[in-house]
């Protein structure tokens, strides 16, 4: 047999390799000298991104008296993988066919057919992981998964794939590594390159849509956030496969919009009402957070989501809409009180309209941090705050309009008087899934400017009699 290996994250010249044969035994040895200590930073990627390691695999073995190449390239890996799915669904399941037929009633387009199947699997099959021997690689038949209504990623992928086949739609079983793994199929064509299975739908225009039914709240047209930017290995047929890249969702797809009306409440408090709307991955994340909660737990979760200003924040009423409607914004209408927030000095009132100050103190210590910083998704937050000028007061100081745009982080804050209101329009975006150390300085530059903008407060002065 022949063993091969790939080294990852190994500094040049730090690892030596030797191969020693003793009779029928072959010893492969990698020795590392004076490797630096492993750094530990918060919000870092998984250790395989930065810890030196060796991945070894069986490249060739003698089988039936003949040498056979087992691993080393994508074609060899696919030969192994295709064997895991070769005997699936030899017989059509009548009950599953009836479900698919019922889902197709009234569907006017192919996309609608695919969407109905995908959402049905998300809604009706519970995800449970299985990793027992070869069961960790071989899916169950679609009919069996349908009957049990639970399965792992392979089971849910195969069920989705077979239902689409019954609906007359082209799709492929697809292996993929989540973002926990740093590898590409071209550099490591072994089972260590992936840890997940999904379904890829191919539209009539040749575009691929990646369907991960284990991600219950992810809408059609978006991959689950954990596979963004990753290689996907599509099973085209028994002999052929294809590697394609899963897109990274742009910040414009993952949007939080908060619109509120605010007024003074007593001497130092604020009272406000508004609506929070979430789309894309922010909605997915919050839908999971709210899933299955009783009223008490839900209230605490909503308070944590809406909290702003300080810890004396109270939600008086709220209502949640579209939690289960994947193609609509998750909206939360709310009313709140905020105590001990407004400052008064003589005949002046000081109000900071930056009730939420995300990223304002998020400087990275470039002298200490050594690892990249990992984020789940790019996103944009838009806030409109309408503050009612109290009777008898006028504007003494209106904060400056500020704007800074960078490749990884940016913001704009604008203030305008409209009648008896001050309107603040704020937009903040983060556009970097993996912030590298070389980008820390530009990140900090934006954070410093953002923090300064947050500290610029509205000053009102009592009108003279």
Q: Mind listing the pLDDT tens digit for each residue in 382-433? A: 999 999 999 999 999 999 999 999 999 999 999 999 999 999 999 999 999 9
Say whether pLDDT at 132 is over 80.
no
- In whole angstroms, what is the distance from residue 62 CA to residue 24 CA? 14
Tokens for 304, please give them: 């944590």
Instruction: Read off the CATH number of the domain in which 174 is found.
Output: 3.10.620.30
Q: Check whether residue 11 and residue 101 sit in a common domain.
A: no
The residue ranking higher by pLDDT, 25 or 219, is: 219
Domain boundary among 176, 210, 245: 245
- In whole angstroms, what is the distance from residue 222 CA to residue 246 CA? 10
Q: Report yes or no on 82 lying in a domain.
A: no
Tokens for 281, please give them: 């991955």
Domain boundary among 228, 245, 262: 245
Domain boundary among 230, 245, 260: 245
- In whole angstroms, what is the distance from residue 383 CA to residue 206 CA? 38
Tokens for 432, please give them: 């970097």
Split into its structural domains, the chain has a count of 3
- In whole angstroms, what is the distance from residue 121 CA to residue 103 CA? 11
Q: Give residue 291's pLDDT.
A: 94
Q: Give residue 348's pLDDT.
A: 96
Q: Check whether residue 305 and residue 352 sit in a common domain.
A: yes
Q: Check whether residue 25 and residue 97 sit in a common domain.
A: no
Q: Check whether residue 193 and residue 302 sit in a common domain.
A: no
Q: Check whether residue 296 and residue 360 sit in a common domain.
A: yes
**Nearest of 454, 380, 392 to residue 424 by alpha carbon:** 454
Say whether pLDDT at 133 is over 90.
no
Distance from first CA to last CA of the chain, Å, rounded? 97
Q: Give residue 14's pLDDT.
A: 86
Average pLDDT value for residue range 1-28: 90
Tokens for 447, please give them: 């954070």
Q: Report yes or no on 83 lying in a domain.
A: no
Q: Give residue 12's pLDDT.
A: 84
Helices 281-290, 295-306: axis angle to 10 degrees equals 150
Q: Check whether residue 285 and residue 417 sit in a common domain.
A: yes
Q: Give residue 34's pLDDT.
A: 84
Q: Check whether residue 94 and residue 52 sit in a common domain.
A: no
Average pLDDT value for residue range 348-365: 97
- In whole angstroms, what is the distance from residue 175 CA to residue 138 CA? 12
Q: Report yes or no on 43 lying in a domain.
A: yes
Provide the mean pLDDT of the chain: 96
- In whole angstroms, what is the distance from residue 242 CA to residue 236 CA? 7
Phi-psi region of 146 (alpha: psi -120 to 50; beta: other; left: phi over 0): alpha
Q: Report yes or no on 303 lying in a domain.
A: yes
Q: Check whether residue 241 and residue 351 sit in a common domain.
A: no
- In whole angstroms, what is the distance from residue 183 CA to residue 200 CA? 20
- Domain of 37? 2-70
**Nearest of 452, 359, 464 to residue 400 by alpha carbon:** 452
Instruction: Read off the CATH number of the domain in which 313 is found.
Output: 2.60.120.1130
Q: Give residue 134's pLDDT.
A: 78
Q: Give residue 425's pLDDT.
A: 98
Q: How confident is the model at residue 59 (pLDDT cuts 50, 70, 90)?
A: very high
* DSSP 8-class letter at 89: T
Q: Check whether residue 241 and residue 263 sit in a common domain.
A: no
Strand partners, 183: none
Say whether pLDDT at 356 is over 90.
yes
Average pLDDT value for residue range 1-14: 89
């Amino acid at each position: 047999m022949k063993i091969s290996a790939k080294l990852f994250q190994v500094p040049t010249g730090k690892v030596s390799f030797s191969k020693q044969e003793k009779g029928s035994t072959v010893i492969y040895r990698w020795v590392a000298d004076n490797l630096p200590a492993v750094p530990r930073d918060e919000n870092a990627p998984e250790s395989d991104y930065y810890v030196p390691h060796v991945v070894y695999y069986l490249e060739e073995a003698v089988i039936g008296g003949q040498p056979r190449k087992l691993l080393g390239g994508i074609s060899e890996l696919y030969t192994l993988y295709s064997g895991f799915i070769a005997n699936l669904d030899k017989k059509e399941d009548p009950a599953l066919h009836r479900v698919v037929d019922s889902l197709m009633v009234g569907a006017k387009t192919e996309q609608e057919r695919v969407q109905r199947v995908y959402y049905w699997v998300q809604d009706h099959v519970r995800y449970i992981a299985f990793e027992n021997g070869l069961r960790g690689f071989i899916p169950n038949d679609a009919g069996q998964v349908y009957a049990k209504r639970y399965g792992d990623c392979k089971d849910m992928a195969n069920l989705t794939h077979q239902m689409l086949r019954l609906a007359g739609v082209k799709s492929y079983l697809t292996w993929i590594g989540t973002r926990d793994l740093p590898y590409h199929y071209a550099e490591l064509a072994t089972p260590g390159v992936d840890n997940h299975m999904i379904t890829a739908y191919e539209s009539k225009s040749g575009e691929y849509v990646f369907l991960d039914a284990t991600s219950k709240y992810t809408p059609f047209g978006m991959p689950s956030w954990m596979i963004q930017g990753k290689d996907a290995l599509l099973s085209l047929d028994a002999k052929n496969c294809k590697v394609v890249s899963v897109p990274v969702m742009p910040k414009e797809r993952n949007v939080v919009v908060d619109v509120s009306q605010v007024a003074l409440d007593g001497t130092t408090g604020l009272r406000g009402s508004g609506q929070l709307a979430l789309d894309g991955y922010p909605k997915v994340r919050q839908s999971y957070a709210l899933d299955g909660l009783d009223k008490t737990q839900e209230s605490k979760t909503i308070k944590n989501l809406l909290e702003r200003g300080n810890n004396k924040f109270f939600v008086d009423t709220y209502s949640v809409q579209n939690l289960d409607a994947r193609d609509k914004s998750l909206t939360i209408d709310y009313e709140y009180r905020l105590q001990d927030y407004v400052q008064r000095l003589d005949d002046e009132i000081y109000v900071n309209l930056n009730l939420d100050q995300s990223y304002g103190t998020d400087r990275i210590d470039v002298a200490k941090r050594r690892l990249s910083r990992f984020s789940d998704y790019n996103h944009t937050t838009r806030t409109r705050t309408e503050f009612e000028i109290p009777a008898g007061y006028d504007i003494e100081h209106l904060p400056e309009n500020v704007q800074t745009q960078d490749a990884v982080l940016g913001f704009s804050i604008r203030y305008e008087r409209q009648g008896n209101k001050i309107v603040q329009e704020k937009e903040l975006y983060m556009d970097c899934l993996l912030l590298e150390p070389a980008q820390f300085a530009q990140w900090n530059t934006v954070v410093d400017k953002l923090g300064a903008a947050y500290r610029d407060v509205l000053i009102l002065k009592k009108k003279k009699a």
